[in-house]
């Protein structure tokens, strides 16, 4: 079988080389690694209008609510089956003292959000409100604990409040807040960006602090805690090396990684979310594809110390970061969301899927009204962004088995630089259906792709596509359906049973999901 696949792949390679077409060869017989649904997680920080004004609205807001939780946002997120939600930060996490956010909301002390605009928050959205949100979303909570300015006891008490079911001071406090049974939170971050806003620590110092804090962040009966270490900033491979070497692997479930796609590559002037040339678009995609190298190299370091891959790589902050929209508070990080952002999301998720042996959790930054949002709100209006529709398409990969693939892509060249025009990932679900997600990054040129389905019994294909008039296309409150998914039929299945070839024409700047059964 392997020899036959190799022969077919060599033939496909020759075809691609001669015709400059994309060719995809799938090895369905080796589909044995599960794509963890948690790869499709979200992140909501106390930042700008992400929580306050996005998810948590005023009592008199003219929208459907449960308490003060905005239900049209909840229903949209339910539809795409988000598996987990990270909160309260981000940089905010290491200045957040959880006990200020419980009890009678009218008596909660106010606080200053020093990281994001110096605004004063009333702490009306705290632990129990977040847990209510997760319950409504049917999703798992992922809480980031305060290591930067908090104490070991404070973190320990928070875990006890969340997860202990016996008699204790924190259980008593939780019951006084109207919550009789523990929440059973699993995912818990021990600090955030400890190399930066979380304390400006060295990795060696962080390792010692992690071991101390994690010791007292207990697992309780029926509530095993999955502790996540604050991992590297982008390509800081030394940080990963020190953590993997210095933290006992049974103390941590995962190590985080943060990487943002900056269109210009310049943090001082990141570029517009909506007004950019094709050259800037190309550079953005090149920066996006750097995620492949990051995941590969961090994984290799982890493999050295953990060859059995017990420790997860958790990319719990990722996405495109542009300049804030003109006329908005620059500290609130509100940005529009274009077809370019959808292509970034789809490409990044393909990378995570293809590294499912090590990447077992990820969180898009962020969910509502901040950075690469799925949802934008204005008063009683709500729109879904192009990025939202990518997650709607890709939910079919959640929990499915990854199909190893070999992809030969034509080049997308600009300004003397080249990237692969086409990327993809594939999986097979519990019913035997195959799902193939394909992305054409070329801004102007359609790219045909030939998919080798030899040695399979698939006879039926259905397709969906996300595309737009231009890579700058956006959804607005006046025109909310400019960019959305539609049916896709530009494909042809040919050949005899057991020897089929699927020919697909990928339009320029598009995302295609094929279901084959």
- Residue 325 bears catalytic tag: no
Catalytic residue among 193, 204, 292, 325: 193
Contact 98, 158 (CB under 8 A): yes
Instruction: In whole angstroms, give the CA distance from residue 79 to residue 365.
Output: 19
Contact 353, 291 (CB under 8 A): no
Instruction: In whole angstroms, give the CA distance from residue 39 to residue 362.
Output: 4
Instruction: In whole angstroms, give the CA distance from residue 135 to residue 183.
Output: 10
Largest CA distance in the chain: 72
- Lookup result for tokens 């057991």: 498
Output phi, psi for 486, to 5 deg: -140, 170
Supply 480's token pair.
Answer: 């909310």
How far CA 22 is from CA of 25, 287, 408, in Å, comes to 10, 22, 5
CA angle 44, 50, 53 (to 5 degrees): 140
CA 188, distance to chain mean position in Å, is: 17
> Which residues, 6+ apart, have CB-to-CB distance to 367 below 8 Å?
42, 43, 44, 50, 54, 55, 77, 85, 373, 374, 375
Distance between terminal CA atoms of the chain? 21
> Which residues, 6+ apart, have CB-to-CB distance to 207 below 8 Å?
242, 243, 246, 247
Instruction: In whole angstroms, give the CA distance from residue 336 to residue 385.
Output: 8
Catalytic residue among 95, 121, 317, 392: 317
Supply 214's token pair.
Answer: 């994690």
List beta partners, residue 463: 488, 514
Contact 305, 246 (CB under 8 A): no
- Residue 392 bears catalytic tag: no
> Which residues, 6+ apart, have CB-to-CB distance to 419 below 8 Å?
282, 285, 286, 289, 411, 412, 441
List beta partners, residue 411: 420
Instruction: In whole angstroms, give the CA distance from residue 249 to residue 247.
Output: 6
> Which residues, 6+ apart, have CB-to-CB distance to 12 below 8 Å?
23, 25, 408, 450, 452
Contact 43, 364 (CB under 8 A): yes
| Residue 402, H or E segment | strand 401-402
Instruction: In whole angstroms, give the CA distance from residue 180 to residue 57.
Output: 26
Contact 255, 390 (CB under 8 A): no
Contact 268, 231 (CB under 8 A): no
Enzyme catalytic residues: 193, 317
């Amino acid at each position: 079988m392997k020899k036959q696949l190799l022969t077919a792949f060599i033939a496909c390679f020759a075809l691609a080389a001669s015709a400059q077409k994309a060719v995809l060869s799938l090895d369905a017989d080796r589909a044995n690694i599960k794509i963890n649904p948690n790869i499709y997680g979200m992140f909501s920080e106390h930042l700008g209008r992400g929580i306050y004004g996005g998810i948590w609205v005023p009592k008199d807001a003219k929208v459907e609510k449960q308490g003060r939780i905005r239900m049209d946002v909840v229903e949209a997120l339910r539809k795409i089956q988000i598996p987990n939600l990270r909160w309260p930060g981000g940089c905010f996490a290491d200045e957040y003292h959880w006990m200020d956010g419980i009890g009678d909301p009218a008596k909660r002390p106010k606080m200053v959000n020093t990281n994001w605009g110096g605004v004063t928050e009333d702490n009306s959205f705290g632990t129990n409100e977040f847990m209510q949100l997760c319950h409504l979303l049917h999703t798992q909570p992922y809480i980031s604990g305060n290591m930067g300015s908090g104490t070991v006891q404070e973190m320990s008490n928070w875990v006890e409040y969340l997860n202990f079911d016996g008699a204790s001071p924190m259980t008593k406090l939780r019951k006084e807040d109207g919550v009789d049974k523990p929440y059973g939170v699993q995912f818990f971050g021990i600090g955030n960006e400890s190399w930066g806003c979380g304390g400006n620590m060295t990795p060696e110092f962080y390792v010692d602090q992690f071991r101390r804090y994690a010791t007292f962040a207990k697992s309780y009966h029926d509530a095993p805690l999955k502790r996540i270490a604050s991992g590297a900033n982008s390509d800081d491979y030394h940080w990963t090396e020190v953590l993997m070497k210095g933290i006992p692997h049974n103390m941590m479930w995962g190590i985080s990684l943060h990487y943002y796609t900056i269109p210009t590559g310049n943090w001082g002037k990141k570029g517009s979310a909506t007004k950019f040339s094709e050259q800037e678009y190309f550079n953005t995609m090149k920066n996006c594809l750097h995620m492949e190298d990051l995941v590969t190299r961090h994984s290799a370091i982890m493999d050295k110390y953990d060859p059995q891959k017990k420790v997860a790589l958790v990319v719990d902050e990722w996405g495109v970061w542009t300049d804030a929209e003109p006329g908005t508070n620059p500290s609130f990080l509100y940005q529009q969301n274009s077809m370019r952002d959808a292509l970034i999301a789809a490409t990044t998720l393909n990378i995570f899927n293809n590294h499912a042996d090590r990447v077992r959790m990820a969180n898009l930054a962020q969910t509502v009204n901040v950075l690469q949002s799925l949802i934008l709100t204005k008063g009683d209006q709500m729109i879904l962004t192009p990025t939202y529709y990518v997650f709607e398409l890709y939910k079919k990969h959640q929990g499915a088995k990854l199909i190893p693939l070999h992809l030969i892509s034509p080049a997308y060249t600009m300004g003397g630089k080249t990237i692969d025009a086409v990327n993809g990932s594939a999986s097979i679900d519990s019913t035997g259906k195959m799902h193939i997600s394909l992305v054409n990054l070329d801004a102007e040129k359609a790219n045909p792709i030939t998919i080798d389905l030899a040695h399979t019994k698939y006879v039926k294909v259905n397709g969906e596509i996300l595309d737009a008039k231009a890579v700058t296309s956006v959804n607005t409150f006046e025109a909310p359906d400019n960019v959305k998914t539609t049916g896709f039929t530009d494909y042809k299945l040919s050949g005899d049973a057991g020897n089929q070839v699927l020919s697909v024409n990928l339009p320029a700047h598009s995302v295609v999901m094929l279901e084959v059964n």
